[in-house]
Structure 1
Amino acid sequence: MLTNVPGYPRIGSGRELKKANEAYWAGTASLEKLQLTARQLRRQNWEAMQQAGIDLIPSNDFSYYDQVLDMCLMTGTIPARFKPLLERLASPQSLELYFAMARGYQKNGLDITAMEMTKWFDTNYHYLVPEFDTTQQYRLLSHKCVEEFREAKSLGIHTKPVIIGPLTFLLLGKIKDHSLHLHSLLEQLLPVYLQLLTALQEAGATWIQIDEPYLAMDLNPAIHQLYINTYNRIHQAIPGLQLLIATYFDALGDNLATALQLPVQALHIDLVRAPQQLTTVLQQLPAGMQLSLGVVDGRNIWKNDYQLSLALINEAVQAIGQDRVWISSACSLLHTPYDLDLEQDEQVLTREIKHWMAFAKQKLHEIADLAQIATGNNTSLAANMAAMQAKQHSPLIHKPAVKARVAALDESHATRKSPFHVRQESQEVAFQLPLFPTTTIGSFPQTAEIRQLRAQLKKGTISSEEYHQRIKAAIAETVKWQESLHLDVLVHGEFERNDMVEYFGEQLEGFVFTQNGWVQSYGSRCVKPPIIYGDVQRTHPMTVAWSSYAQSLTKKPMKGMLTGPVTILQWSFVRNDQPRADTTFQIALAIRDEVSDLEKAGIRVIQVDEPAVREGLPLRRANWDAYLQWAVQAFRIAVCSVLDDTQIHTHMCYAEFNDIIDSIAAMDADVITIETSRSQMELLEAFARFKYPNEIGPGVYDIHSPRVPTVEEMSSLLQKASTLLPARNIWVNPDCGLKTRNWPETEQSLRNMVAAAVQSRSAVLVN
């Protein structure tokens, strides 16, 4: 019985890749130093899997920034605007081009915007969106996949190369030219895939994993046929290949027949998200096809329940035989932290709760354990059963008062006093803002000095009093600076916050934290998600003191900044012993209490960020309504306690809203801010078509790129917005928080943004 891992984390147990990337970008480390770090991380990962007893060890799951971006470079899918840079480079596969595509490029006389970024299915990982246009000449531009296979081979480790499948790659992207179609693009791309697969075969690869997660999505009959035709052509061209098609994040469902028609040797299915699919898959699995069972959760940190997994494994073994069954994680372990053994501080993570958990390294051993138990070695089964029993009966988890409060919720808790048009008039009188009011999303640059302050407080090297005074000084300076820029609605900068979810989790009961539980969000951006282990409640105000202090420094409106219940849920590792909706309503009530206290303290603009609402959508449309109903309800529970002239904002970023616009409207926020800069206001068109009634702040510049946008380009975006929406309803803001940027580029960008707003006001008055 083989053991399989679809992919492994790549940032390093100490975030070595993040640090190496950022040093290279800053010019303080050489390319050779970055490449050395990458080689060391790959070797560590391969050896960890080898030592754990994994048979099918992945390669090419490593990436400097993003695996979809890797595939873009590998296939020559380079947007036309990068051609001037490409012509200057000695090698078209250089990291300078690669990072320019990810982050934008603004030097040496060139000013090129970055590729668009969005969420990887329903995870909090972001990928770079491929762009397909008529200028591209698809060719095998990068040999990274083959090189990393050979690199592992030189270390005595035979790996299973992993690539994104051709249909998923195309479906993840955007076709920029209406004359192009999926079928014609596939015709151009397929020869590149054949060349790559041939090169891997010649290098000695025995198994190749092709990720086709789109097989868990809703697909039309034409795409079903493209899948069959594509893999038939691959099989005919390279008949000796042993291919594993990997699906994950949901059941194959009505795509099962198509998946089983593909001439491949193995199929991987996700039995954590969709255990119910196993029986049907086994009934229809072609003779000889191997089946990889994704029974270990690749997206959460809880210890595997061996009894539940063994029931699935035994069902498969009885149906098709042990020699055709592989034991695997459900998806890549990219979404989990590295190593639970690094958590040594029991003041941060208690021994009891830690005993219920498993990170990526521990999940390798769970996979190996399950294979051993399934073949007769029960050594580790008793300890696992004891851990499951201890968790189930722990008094740490359940709080009857919290459950009773959720049970008492009704529609009155989720309804504002008046409809939006009445509230809008009250707010216009209360705030007296100009047309195209300017604001930011909430956070300002977190400098090394600010981060050091928090570290010093945690270590006890400075007193709480000194910490508070120095954070207050940073807030005061920032408020004064915002006033000098003539921003209309200010923020306090969030200098006291480590992370928009972690900060709140630290102050809510039912959460626990880690010291080293980092996972990659995008590029070098790593997050350390809180862990929701039990019932959630708020016992004290979390933000009121900081927001009140900031408001005392200015006569302009000061936004109170909160994170919404769905985002706190989505960006945490969530308990797996009750429905996610129940946990979300518990969080919503905690945020509701904070909103009420902010309003009582005189904060009349309150932003409750919900960037994760879209990413939480189930992959299948048939399951959307149930999710959206409780997600929208949770947001409304959190904010609907306020008066008409208290303005509720929310923020969402990097998501397609066309298909859920009615649910966004149902949230009934007075103002929504969204990302539209990388998509050139494309996302705003959905709001216009829907005739979205409330106010909108379309992000006019991309904060994920270090380039400074010009006044002209932001004015142009606002002009486009004005053709789609009433000027009365348009706000002006960046597309996300500014925490990761530096001060010089932030200052210049915001000056340009305010100037663009002033130009737009003048244009409206003239017209």
Structure 2
Amino acid sequence: MSVRNHILGFPRIGARRELKYALEDYWSGHITKDQLIKIGANLRLKHWNQQKEIGINYVTVGDFAWYDHVLSMSMLLGNVPTRHRMKNNSIDLDTLFYIARGNAPYRTPVLASEMTKWFNTNYHYIVPEFFEGQKFHLSWLQLFEEIEEALKYGFKVKPVIIGPMTYLWLGKTTGKEFSRLNLLNELLPVYKEILNRLYSQGIRWIQIDEPILSLDLPKKWLKSFKKSYSYLSSSCKILLTTYFGSVLHNITTINELPVDGLHIDAVDGQYDFANLNSIIPKNWVLSLGVINGRNIWKSDLKNIFHMVKKIQCIRENVWISSSCSFLHCPVDLECEENMNLEIKNWFSFALQKCYEINLLTKSVNINDISILDEWSSLLYTHRYSSYINKQFLKNKLDQIQESDTVRNNPYIIRSKLQKERFCFPLLPTTTIGSFPQTNDIRELRINYKNKQITSEEYKLQIQKHISNVILQQELLDLDVLVHGEAERNDMVEYFGENLNGFIFTDFGWVQSYGSRCVKPPIIIGDVYRSKPITIDWLKYAQSLTHKPVKAMLTGPVTILLWSFLREDLSKEKISMQIALALREEVLDLERENINIIQIDEPALREGLPLRKSQWEEYLSWSVKSFKLSSACVKDTTQIHTHMCYCEFQDIMDAIVELDADVITIETARSNMELLDFFKKFKYPNEIGPGVYDIHSPNIPSVLEIKNLLNRAIKYIPLDRLWVNPDCGLKTRNWKETKLSLKNMVLAAKSIREKISNV
């Protein structure tokens, strides 16, 4: 039987971020809702046409989302938090934005729903909220409308939805504590209704994503899988879809499910193809995710050809696919007109990966590996690379001692010395680092990149922006200032541009959440620092004020995980290279009397392997990397770090081991729920739980911030508590920024005054 093909999902944001700009134009009132909807429809049609023309057998429908696909699922199931509901319980596109942003036209600003990382990726999803006794109902019908669109244009459609077990797992309970599994009986009838409606539309195959099967699941959750899929068994054929790792540890449960096919991630899962056929029921379709959905290197199609042929020779129903959704890849390599052609030939973005899938399918079906020759001839081969095996760097890394990753004295001693040096008030106020990136700043950087202005003109203009940021912070009376990061495009890309071993794209955008996109640098060689990166900007900023200016660096693990990695070297070794480069920067900063240095590691939890058995190894080298970059300073130099949008509880022991003097964390969006963790866990160093959500345009009131701080004081000793927003201010405008920070400072001063009068 011929092998067929499909993909698990396509990037929704557009090759040139068309959806991003449309969303932001709508939110700012520059276009109407109808115009936004039309732009979305045009993007979907374009992407479906591209997939069909390349030779993808099924176009995937349901992968498009206005903000986030988990939020889309919540809308489909009628799961709208009470604070976001209209009085008549109607649901529309503005409801979706209201949940995601806490703000929508003609609605009172409220707390947005919590946001966290999608498994071990840098994509953020909106966390579903559940309460005891909750009911669900088929609502917001975008999925069915999109299927009608696709069918109207003659596409062969395979819809995708998040499975009921994964949907419950991803959510959080509100109010009284209870097991989310208690809601399964209420949820399944709605899923059944969805499947029946899809069948009535003519759908025969549906992709149901259950990526939690890659995790170590409790027995009661595994048991509930059989109950769920026995109930959902229907006329639609179900392709149970897993990704981000192997599911062999849960294969007994999977094999008991009444489904029609299984998709496996054969990239991150590292399956033994020789034994795979005997493990999975013979009558199932086996979808092989052999094209990497999370990296941008060309696939070794000849090697994959041999693996697929092993399965095809002994199994009838085989599909070829991506390891996961292409959501995590840029859209189209052909947009990269300025990239060196030799280097460009090493890469493959989402559209090119679709081509890889089709080319591989053809070669397998006609049993002719020769048609892969041209593609394979362009693979990156290190025999010809001048970017790797730098002996001087190897020597430096070999000379690292255990003592290089340990501070001179423990925090309790350092803290006293730092308090004497800086004389901060109680509840010292600061920000996370970035200030608004205005159009003027972006245009300035573009003009400099395009050589339309000289380096001296660029320097003078950036200094003006730094001067303004320092002035505004002094007017607000913040205690620890930052230089605002006007010279930086992105917290990872900027450092990549100033380190050796990286290359960059013009349009390699990947969605992070909503309209927010990042452009990950690509690591193609050994990473090292050949010149200082931040020194001149920080020296200039510090010269403008008597208050301390905090240096801002991105940590080694975050630079690692938010880049596209070379695949010939372990993550640990790349991370240590980056850490050594940052260590040199930290020492230079200290020599220039920059004595507060923040090294951000928001990706630390993100990199945690899905299987707990692998956690210890990862945390060992990731913590060591951070400490190599930070432990070189004197006791009087204060090291900060920042983390956001993750399950901190999973790695709190590792966070303690980082031994940063101050950690700032995101807590505002969850209304400081994380603080409940500190009832039992006594964090030993200083901590700044974010007191307002910077991803929402809402301005926090003084009272709201005071209430959050008063909660924090119950769990964190007053002399170790900092006051800060929950993330950088890059995406906010100046009006929002100044009003929010003004209220934050007023709240901190009010509590200080109250304490001093007791």
What TM-score, normalized to structure 2?
Answer: 0.98
Q: Counterpart in 1 of 2:352?
A: 362
> Which whole-Å CA distance do the structure 2 matches of 1:120 and 1:520 have between them?
12
Q: Is the 8 A contact 2:327 2:510 kept in 1?
A: yes
Letter in 1 for 2:256: Q
- Give CA-to-partner distance per residue, 1:423-476, whole Å, 9 cap, x none: 000100010000000000000000111111111112222222121111111111
> Which whole-Å CA distance do the structure 1 matches of 2:278 and 2:409 have between them?
56
Aligned counterpart in structure 2 of residue 439 of structure 1, from 430, 437, 443: 430
Q: Does 1:147 align with 2:145?
A: yes
Indicate the SS of the match to 2:379. helix
Q: Counterpart in 1 of 2:320?
A: 327
> Which whole-Å CA distance do the structure 1 matches of 2:664 and 2:11 have between them?
32
Aligned counterpart in structure 2 of residue 105 of structure 1, from 103, 106, 111: 103
Inter-CA distance 499–405: structure 2 relative to 1 (3 Å threshold): same
> Which whole-Å CA distance do the structure 1 matches of 2:166 and 2:527 have between them?
38
Aligned counterpart in structure 1 of residue 585 of structure 2, from 589, 594, 598: 594
Q: Counterpart in 2 of 1:72?
A: 74
Single out whichever of 495-504 and 407-416 deviates more from structure 2: 407-416
Q: CA deviation at 1:307?
A: 2.9
- Give CA-to-partner distance per residue, 1:219-239, whole Å, 9 cap, x none: 11111110001000111xx2x
Indicate the SS of the match to 1:170. helix
Give the 5 Å matches for 1:127-166.
Answer: 127-134=125-132, 136-166=134-164
Q: Counterpart in 2 of 1:532?
A: 523
> Which whole-Å CA distance do the structure 2 matches of 1:463 and 1:88 have between them?
59
Single out whichever of 176-185 and 43-52 deviates more from structure 2: 176-185
> Which whole-Å CA distance do the structure 2 matches of 1:610 and 1:179 have between them?
31
> Which whole-Å CA distance do the structure 2 matches of 1:587 and 1:648 have between them?
18
Q: Is the 8 A contact 2:95 2:104 kept in 1?
A: no
Inter-CA distance 188–470: structure 2 relative to 1 (3 Å threshold): same
Q: Counterpart in 1 of 2:305?
A: 310
> Which whole-Å CA distance do the structure 1 matches of 2:750 and 2:612 have between them?
42
Q: CA deviation at 1:135?
A: 7.1
Indicate the SS of the match to 1:597. helix
- Give CA-to-partner distance per residue, 1:663-686, whole Å, 9 cap, x none: 000000000000010112122333
Identical-pair percentage: 48
Q: CA deviation at 1:644?
A: 0.3
Q: Is the 8 A contact 2:301 2:372 kept in 1?
A: yes
Indicate the SS of the match to 1:87. coil
Structure 1 gaps of 5+ residues are none
> Which whole-Å CA distance do the structure 1 matches of 2:391 and 2:541 have between them?
37
Give the 5 Å matches for 1:647-686.
Answer: 647-686=638-677
- Give CA-to-partner distance per residue, 1:48-78, whole Å, 9 cap, x none: 1101111122001000100000011110111
Indicate the SS of the match to 1:361. helix
Q: Counterpart in 1 of 2:509?
A: 518
Give the 5 Å matches for 1:77-96.
Answer: 77-83=79-85, 86-87=86-87, 92-96=90-94
Q: Is the 8 A contact 2:687 2:722 kept in 1?
A: yes
Inter-CA distance 277–692: structure 2 relative to 1 (3 Å threshold): farther
- Give CA-to-partner distance per residue, 1:730-766, whole Å, 9 cap, x none: 0000000000001101100000000111122123334
Q: Counterpart in 2 of 1:353?
A: 343
Aligned counterpart in structure 2 of residue 191 of structure 1, from 189, 194, 198: 189
Q: Does 1:720 align with 2:711?
A: yes
Letter in 2 for 1:183: L
CA-based RMSD: 1.4
Letter in 2 for 1:350: N
Indicate the SS of the match to 2:597. strand
Indicate the SS of the match to 2:523. strand
Q: Is the 8 A contact 2:58 2:155 kept in 1?
A: no
Letter in 2 for 1:402: L
Q: Is the 8 A contact 1:339 1:359 kept in 2?
A: yes
Q: Is the 8 A contact 1:516 1:528 kept in 2?
A: yes
Inter-CA distance 25–58: structure 2 relative to 1 (3 Å threshold): same
> Which whole-Å CA distance do the structure 2 matches of 1:160 and 1:439 have between them?
49
- Give CA-to-partner distance per residue, 1:675-704, whole Å, 9 cap, x none: 010112122333452211100000000000
Inter-CA distance 754–603: structure 2 relative to 1 (3 Å threshold): same
> Which whole-Å CA distance do the structure 2 matches of 1:58 and 1:480 have between them?
51
- Give CA-to-partner distance per residue, 1:644-665, whole Å, 9 cap, x none: 0000000000111112111000
> Which whole-Å CA distance do the structure 2 matches of 1:8 and 1:146 have between them?
18
Q: Counterpart in 1 of 2:168?
A: 170
Q: Is the 8 A contact 2:94 2:105 kept in 1?
A: no
Structure 2 gaps of 5+ residues are none
- Give CA-to-partner distance per residue, 1:130-165, whole Å, 9 cap, x none: 000147431001111111111001111121000000
Q: CA deviation at 1:387?
A: 2.7
Q: Does 1:291 align with 2:286?
A: yes
Q: Counterpart in 1 of 2:631?
A: 640
Indicate the SS of the match to 1:573. coil
Q: Give the count of matched residue pairs.
A: 755
Q: CA deviation at 1:405?
A: 1.9
Inter-CA distance 463–135: structure 2 relative to 1 (3 Å threshold): farther
Indicate the SS of the match to 1:703. coil
Inter-CA distance 640–179: structure 2 relative to 1 (3 Å threshold): closer
Letter in 2 for 1:268: H
Q: Is the 8 A contact 2:128 2:171 kept in 1?
A: yes
Single out whichever of 4-13 and 101-110 deviates more from structure 2: 101-110
Q: Is the 8 A contact 2:549 2:594 kept in 1?
A: yes
Q: Counterpart in 1 of 2:364?
A: 374
Q: Counterpart in 1 of 2:455?
A: 464
Indicate the SS of the match to 2:353. helix
Q: CA deviation at 1:636?
A: 0.1
Inter-CA distance 389–463: structure 2 relative to 1 (3 Å threshold): closer
> Which whole-Å CA distance do the structure 2 matches of 1:308 and 1:423 have between them?
54
Q: Counterpart in 1 of 2:595?
A: 604
Letter in 2 for 1:293: L
Q: Is the 8 A contact 1:106 1:707 kept in 2?
A: no
Q: Is the 8 A contact 1:79 1:133 kept in 2?
A: no
Q: Is the 8 A contact 2:135 2:187 kept in 1?
A: no
> Which whole-Å CA distance do the structure 1 matches of 2:624 and 2:756 have between them?
39
Q: CA deviation at 1:280?
A: 4.6
Give the 5 Å matches for 1:410-449.
Answer: 410-449=401-440
> Which whole-Å CA distance do the structure 2 matches of 1:739 and 1:380 have between them?
48
> Which whole-Å CA distance do the structure 2 matches of 1:329 and 1:643 have between them?
49
Inter-CA distance 108–373: structure 2 relative to 1 (3 Å threshold): closer
Q: Counterpart in 2 of 1:201?
A: 199
> Which whole-Å CA distance do the structure 2 matches of 1:65 and 1:389 have between them?
35
Q: Counterpart in 2 of 1:242?
A: 237
> Which whole-Å CA distance do the structure 2 matches of 1:280 and 1:251 have between them?
14
Indicate the SS of the match to 2:558. helix
Q: Counterpart in 2 of 1:48?
A: 50
Q: CA deviation at 1:383?
A: 2.4
Single out whichever of 290-299 and 274-283 deviates more from structure 2: 274-283
Q: Is the 8 A contact 1:661 1:686 kept in 2?
A: no
> Which whole-Å CA distance do the structure 1 matches of 2:425 and 2:278 have between them?
65
Q: CA deviation at 1:259?
A: 1.2
Q: Is the 8 A contact 1:661 1:687 kept in 2?
A: no
Q: CA deviation at 1:81?
A: 1.2
Q: Counterpart in 2 of 1:5?
A: 7
> Which whole-Å CA distance do the structure 1 matches of 2:597 and 2:381 have between them?
41
Q: Does 1:63 align with 2:65?
A: yes
Q: CA deviation at 1:257?
A: 1.2
Indicate the SS of the match to 2:60. strand
Letter in 1 for 2:38: L
